[in-house]
């Protein structure tokens, strides 16, 4: 295989010019570009892109740190990222971490090792300080509210989004509110638990341990919650389901089967504005997941182009979509 030096010699241009042509760099005259391309064609030169990356310091790839890929929340963010990446002709390196910190660190090491141009951390178990140590090596965007850090962020305020859902139930007259959460120890989950306690205190409602239901991940978990409720002596009159509309869907379907009326016997508000929720007429808090993926990509892409390391912090707005389950 011919190398870049040979191509430069045969085309009568500098090595820099060849590498510019290989990378579609704008500052190459048409004459030189044509000379290089003709030479390459003559030699049937196959680029070793690792050589190109080595020369340019750019890989046109961004790593995405994501705990799981097949939960609605994550798959919609990925879709937003992927849509923008396609437009910008960037690759997404998908790093499913299963919430293991050592896997996240490996991905950040890829940034240090120049294998990628940036990292989007959709959800991370690492401390903000630990993440900041890697901002020297390239742009990082975290899809969580971590304050004004040295890395960029795009986020919704989970505390106020969750409290607005609770306030909505309260305004509609519900005073016995239960709460279904996903993983108990996630960072946004912890914030919502604080919001829940603050809300109960502010509205003078007692805390009932039985009404805090964790590990709701799938539709079937939603059905299980309904059965749990049926066995309680003292039932809530409303449920806030932070872990997603699909869990609310499982619960509502099971309620229909059992003759429990929604919202008369039990009001339900979900999160995420999923298609299944629209079909069910589910009231929900829309936290703009597609927009989160799109924004995360645009922020990191701009940072790569600017190359100034200046972090950006973007807050997305949530909104309550009123339908028929509250």
CB of 103 to a copy of itself, least distance (A): 7
46 binds a copy of itself (CB under 8 A): yes
256 binds a copy of itself (CB under 8 A): yes
Choice between 157 and 245, CB closer to a copy of itself: 245
216 binds a copy of itself (CB under 8 A): no
Dist CA 131 CA 118 (whole Å): 13
How many other C-beta atoms are found inside a 10 Å radius of the C-beta of residue 142?
25
Instruction: Choose which of 178, 250, 270, 311 interacts with a copy of itself (CB under 8 A).
Output: 250
By CB under 8 A, which span of 9-17, 55-63, 263-271, 309-317 interacts with a copy of itself? Answer: 55-63
Binding residues for a copy of itself, how many (CB under 8 A)? Answer: 54
Indicate the SS3 state at residue 120.
Answer: strand
Instruction: Choose which of 138, 182, 222, 244 interacts with a copy of itself (CB under 8 A).
Output: 222
194 binds a copy of itself (CB under 8 A): no
Instruction: Choose which of 96, 150, 187, 228 interacts with a copy of itself (CB under 8 A).
Output: 96
Q: Return the CA Rg of the chain.
A: 25
Dist CA 110 CA 161 (whole Å): 34
| Residue 118, token pair as written in the block | 């940036």
By CB under 8 A, which span of 70-78, 158-166, 182-190, 264-272 interacts with a copy of itself? Answer: 70-78
Tell me how far CA of residue 208 lies from CA of 50, 179, 213, 224, 308, in angstroms: 58, 10, 11, 19, 50
Instruction: Choose which of 40, 280, 299, 326 interacts with a copy of itself (CB under 8 A).
Output: 280
CB of 325 to a copy of itself, least distance (A): 13
CB of 284 to a copy of itself, least distance (A): 14
37 binds a copy of itself (CB under 8 A): no
313 binds a copy of itself (CB under 8 A): no
82 binds a copy of itself (CB under 8 A): yes
Backbone angles phi, psi at 61, to 5 degrees: -135, 145
Closest by CA to 225, choosing from 209, 208, 210, is: 210
Residue ranges in the chain assigned as alpha helix (H): 4-11, 15-22, 30-43, 49-56, 72-88, 101-112, 128-132, 158-171, 187-202, 219-230, 245-258, 275-280, 289-306
Q: Which residue has the tokens 């939603």?
A: 222
61 binds a copy of itself (CB under 8 A): yes
| Residue 88, token pair as written in the block | 């910008």
Instruction: Choose which of 35, 85, 143, 243 interacts with a copy of itself (CB under 8 A).
Output: 85
286 binds a copy of itself (CB under 8 A): no
324 binds a copy of itself (CB under 8 A): no
Choice between 84 and 181, CB closer to a copy of itself: 84
CB of 109 to a copy of itself, least distance (A): 9
Tell me how far CA of residue 82 lies from CA of 88, 94, 199, 290, 311, in angstroms: 10, 10, 37, 10, 22
CA 63-69-73 angle, to 5 degrees, is 105
Q: Which residues bind a copy of itself (CB under 8 A)?
A: 46-54, 59, 61, 63-64, 68-70, 75-76, 78-79, 82-83, 85-86, 91-98, 103, 110, 112-115, 218-220, 222-223, 246, 249-250, 253-254, 256, 275-276, 278-280
């Amino acid at each position: 295989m011919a190398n870049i030096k040979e191509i430069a010699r045969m085309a009568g241009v500098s090595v820099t010019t060849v590498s510019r042509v290989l990378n579609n760099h704008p500052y190459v005259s048409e004459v030189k570009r044509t000379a290089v391309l003709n030479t390459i064609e003559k030699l049937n030169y196959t680029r070793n892109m690792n050589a190109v990356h080595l020369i340019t310091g750019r890989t046109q790839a961004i790593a995405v740190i994501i705990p799981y890929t097949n939960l609605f929340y994550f798959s919609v963010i990925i879709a937003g990222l992927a849509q923008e990446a396609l437009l910008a002709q960037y690759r997404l390196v998908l790093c499913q971490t299963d919430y293991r910190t050592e896997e996240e660190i490996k991905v950040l090491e890829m940034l240090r090792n120049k294998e990628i141009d940036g990292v989007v951390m959709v959800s991370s178990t690492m401390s903000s300080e630990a993440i900041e140590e890697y901002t020297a090596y390239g742009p990082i965007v975290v899809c969580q509210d971590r304050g004004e850090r040295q890395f960029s962020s795009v986020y919704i305020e989970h505390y106020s989004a969750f409290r607005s859902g609770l306030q909505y139930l309260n305004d509609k007259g519900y005073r016995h509110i239960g709460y279904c959460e996903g993983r108990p120890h996630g960072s946004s989950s912890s914030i919502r638990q604080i919001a829940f306690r603050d809300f109960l205190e502010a509205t003078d409602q007692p805390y009932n341990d039985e009404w805090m239901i964790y590990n709701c991940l799938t539709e079937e978990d939603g059905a299980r919650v309904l059965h749990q409720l049926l066995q309680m002596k003292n039932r809530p009159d409303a449920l806030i389901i932070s872990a997603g509309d699909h869990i609310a869907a499982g619960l509502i379907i099971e309620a229909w089967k059992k003759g429990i009326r929604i919202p008369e016997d039990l009001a339900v508000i979900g999160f995420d504005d999923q298609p299944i929720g629209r079909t069910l007429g589910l009231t929900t808090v829309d936290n703009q997941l597609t927009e989160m993926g799109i924004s995360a990509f645009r922020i990191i892409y701009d940072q790569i182009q600017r190359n100034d390391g200046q972090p950006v912090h973007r807050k997305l707005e949530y909104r309550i979509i009123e339908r028929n389950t509250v």
